[in-house]
Amino acid sequence: MAAYIFRRVLLMITLLFMLSVAVFFLFNMLPGDPARLTCGKACTPDLIEANRKRLGYDQPVLVQYQNFVGGIFFGRTFSADSPEPIKCEAPCLGYSFSRHEEVMSLITRAAPVTFWLAVGAFIIWLTVGISLGIFAALRRGRWQDRLTLGISLVGYSMPSFFIGLILYYFVVIQWKLLDKPEYVSPFEDLGKFLATMILPWIVLAVLYAAFYMRLTRNQVLEVLNDDYVRTARAKGLPERTVVVKHALRAGLTPIVTSAGLDLAGLLGGAIISENIFNLPGLGSLAVDSITKSDLPIITGLTLLTASLIIVANLVVDLLYAVIDPRVRLT
Amino acid sequence: MRQPDSLRVDQRAEAGPYLSVSNLVVKFPSEDGIVNAVEGVNFSVTRGKTLAIVGESGSGKSVTALAIMGLVNRKSAKVTGEVWLDGEELVEKPDSGIRKLRGNKMAMIFQDPMSSLHPFYRVGAQLSEAARTHRKISKKAAREEAIEMLSRVGIPAPRRRVDDYPHQLSGGMRQRVMIAMALINSPALLIADEPTTALDVTVQAQIIDLIGQLQSEFNTAVVIITHDLGIVADIADEVAVMYAGRIVEHASTERLYASPEMPYTLGLLASIPRMDRETNRLDPIRGNPPSPLRHPDGCVFHPRCKYTDRVPNRACFEVRPELLESERNHLVRCHIPAEERRRIATSVLGAGTGGGAAIATAGAGGTGPAAPVGGPA
């Protein structure tokens, strides 16, 4: 087990390294001059050249990459020879000259918002999706099953920006049930936090719940036909025990994989929900940076999201070994 | 050593049959029409006796077993007829009532021990669960019973094996665990649905022997379902041959092997490889069993029967034969006159037949229970 984790972590590091190379060079090949974006309308050719030097964009790409990776481990200093050098402590993902802030501090400020958004939605969609899925499976072919499937289809096909805008329009603007969303930390003002988050949670959860409902339903239906479920019935167990203890236990295992990866993906930022509800999370940060071609932020966010998914993969694999005794991690 | 309650053998001599099935019919409505899985089956089994139900895949033998156990989904299947278990009728009984009997008075083991045990739970947990479902005993007592049962089904080091997961056991061991689980509440009826089909040939005989041995210990009525006539010769007291949802021949094992009459049974017996015969060519039954969606008119076996010309007036093609007594305790569903049937049997299986003895030795391995006795009830 320990050897397995060790090997997986090594693999993870290799993967992240390769990813950083890919991300860095791909983004550097994009058209557009990053130095041009540092000064807006006030730009003069001299200023652009000066900024290019301060940012290090005058150097060969390989050197730039070396500085970038060095910054992550040891920190780095921008515009070292100017009167006001910018010191970026390790782990330094770069410095955004459009926002005049370190990428790392931008991310740490936005991350909690996205974290609460993702975790809240995750809990809602798992609860709703799995229970509806089980419900539909147990009433397969009857009207309850069809109704649930229908609802899921609607939820699945509605784009989240549509649901988001509709909810926002009616709940906030027309009916004035909630105030205009403005993010506060749950530790500061829990009531306001919940009032802000409830709509984005619902928007995110609808899409995922619809997907998990179908997934759960199919899983349970498949498992209910398995031989060991018949054995459980042959033992004379009450139907409830047969379904919960024998069928679900086996049927829900694959859902763990899905759930882990989906949560990780969402932790990297929920672009649409955050934008509609004005949440200053990673998704909003990403959209803003992309429109401004703020390369350091985009690179940093991409690496962060990728790392989250790689870590989630490992966690899911470890969880699998806990859930299913047949899985041996070697 | 103190014997746990469940393992105490009920020594009462049961007078009447413990299980008796009469006119059992099972139909499944499907998109293509009604699947006639079982069409009027009758048999009964007494405690301590074994009935073998033999037939090809799709002959309705497994569905018969599942219907007795109440494991056929009543929402999707239509079950009619009567199943009497120890004086209780099961077909009309509500699900909750049958559930209390399942695993308690009647138990079942299945074809594939690889997939029949839950992969996520330890063997001991699955055994104790069976015990605790029907009896109020402590977890500790149930665990002790599980260990005791594992040792009784011949699993070495049961105290250690009880904490194994199913995937850590071999196929034969898993089937032993299934048997232990089925017998932990000392059921008076054990249904074994092809218990050896998924196992290695060397293990098959052991499992059959084990069932026979435990049957005499627990005084259980056993219904063993198989497509392999060789397997049952040692253990069964009676054999019922099923074809297309019906019993086509039913006799004591001795009698069935010595003088089979129904052409289908002859076909089954002729399909068994024999070392004591001159011919080196097997004689299979040609064709396939009929679709359960539409059984042929007349005798359901007529499309594959070689002897339809022995019956006048095309009766085989037009008239459904009844299951009639050919001799005492020997039931046959066939239009061919009894005399003629015996002549055919002799020509197919060799003079004086005596096939029973030969197959018995070639079958399950020789160490089974005493020679089969008794006849159909």
Q: How far apart are CA B315 and CA A194, in angstroms?
A: 82
Strand partners, B191: B108, B223
CB contact under 8 A, A231 and B118: yes
A325 interface with B at CB cutoff 8 Å: yes
Determine the distance in angstroms separating the CA of A273 from the nearest CA of chain B, rounded to an integer: 39
- Contact call for residues B334 and B341 (beta carbons, < 8 A): yes
Q: Is residue A26 part of a domain?
A: no
Residue of B75, B106, B117, B121 to mutate, testing the A interface (most A Cβ within 10 Å of its Cβ) = B121
At A303 the three-state DSSP class reads: helix
What is the pLDDT at residue A24? 85
Kindly identify which residue of chain A lies nearest to residue B97, measuring between CA atoms. Answer: A236
Which pLDDT value is given to residue B363? 39
Give yes or no: residues A108 and A86 share one domain: no
| Same domain (yes/no): A129, A86 | no
Q: Which residues of A touch B116 (CB under 8 A)?
A: 227-228, 230-231
DSSP one-letter string for A223-237: HHTSHHHHHHHHTT-
DSSP state of B102: B
B126 → chain A, closest CA residue: A232
Helix H or strand E encompassing B374: none
Contacts of B87 (CB under 8 A, 6+ apart): none
ipTM attached to this prediction: 0.83
Please tell me whether residues A85 and A190 are part of one structural domain. no
In this structure, the answer to whether residues A38 and A128 fall within a common structural domain is no
Q: How confident is the model at residue B13 (pLDDT cuts 50, 70, 90)?
A: very low
Give the closest-approach CA distance of A323 to chain B in angstroms: 8
**pLDDT in single tens digits along all 330 residues of chain A:** 788 889 988 998 899 889 889 988 888 777 777 777 777 777 788 888 887 887 778 888 888 888 888 888 888 888 777 777 888 887 888 888 788 889 999 999 999 999 999 999 999 999 999 999 999 998 888 899 999 999 999 888 888 888 888 988 898 888 988 888 888 888 988 988 998 899 999 999 998 999 999 999 999 999 998 999 999 999 999 999 999 899 988 888 889 888 999 999 888 878 888 988 889 999 999 999 888 888 889 889 988 888 899 999 999 988 888 888 888 877
Cβ neighbours around A195 below 10 Å, total: 16
**pLDDT-derived band of residue B15, with 50, 70 and 90 as boundaries?**
low
Is there a domain that residue A73 lies in? yes
Is residue A132 in a domain?
yes
Percentage of chain B surpassing pLDDT 70?
A: 86
| Side-chain-side CA neighbours of residue B351 (13 Å) | 1
Given this model, what pLDDT does residue A178 score?
Answer: 83
**Domain ranges (residues) in chain B:** 241-362
List CB contacts (< 8 A) between B133 and chain A: 235-237
Task: Say yes or no for a CB contact (<8 Å) between B119 and A250.
Answer: yes
- Asked if residue A5 is part of any domain, the answer here is no
The residue of chain A nearest to residue B121, with distances taken between CA atoms, is A325
Judge: A232–B118 Cβ closer than 8 Å, yes or no: yes
Nearest residue of B to residue A228, measured between CA atoms:
B116
d(CA B77, CA A225): 15
Residue A18 in any domain: the answer is no
d(CA B335, CA B329): 18
A326 interface with B at CB cutoff 8 Å? yes
- Asked if the Cβ–Cβ distance from B101 to A236 is below 8 Å, we say yes
Shared-domain flag, residues A124 and A221: yes
A190 and A278, same domain (yes or no):
yes
Contact A227 B167 (CB under 8 A): no
- Do A201 and A311 belong to one domain? yes
Domain presence at residue A180: yes
Kindly tell me if the per-residue pLDDT of B358 is higher than 60.
no
Smallest Cβ–Cβ distance between A235 and the set B102, B119, B167 belongs to B102
Inform me whether the pLDDT recorded for B364 exceeds 60: no
| A65 and A179 housed in the same domain | no
Alpha-carbon torsion A101, A102, A105, A106, what sign?
positive
pLDDT of B366 over the 60 cut: no
Pairing assessment for the beta strands B19-30 and A101-102 based on DSSP bridges: unpaired
Asked whether residue A23 is domain-assigned, the answer is: no
Domain count, chain A: 2
Containing structural domain, residue A278: 104-323
In a domain, A12, yes or no: no
Residues A66 and A111 in one domain: no
Q: What is the CATH number of the domain that holds A211?
A: 1.10.3720.10
pLDDT tens digit sequence for B82-129:
999 998 999 999 989 999 999 999 999 998 888 999 999 999 999 999
The rounded distance, in Å, linking the Cα atoms of B323 and B250 is 9
CB-nearest to B110 from A227, A238, A249 is A227
> pLDDT tens across A16-53, in order?
889 889 988 888 777 777 777 777 777 788 888 887 88
Query: Looking at domain B241-362, which of 3.90.1150.10, 3.40.50.300, 3.20.20.70, 3.40.50.10170 is its CATH number?
Result: 3.40.50.300
Residues A78 and A168 in one domain: no
Chains A, B: CB pairs < 8 Å: 68
Q: Strands B19-30, B33-45: parallel, antiparallel or unpaired by DSSP? A: antiparallel
Q: Is the dihedral of CA B229, B234, B236, B239 positive or negative?
A: positive
A292 in reach of chain B (CB within 8 A): no
Tell me the shortest Cα–Cα distance from B113 to chain A, in angstroms.
9
Cβ distance B99 to A323 less than 8 Å, yes or no, reads no
**What residues have CB less than 8 Å from A322, skipping those under 6 apart?**
none
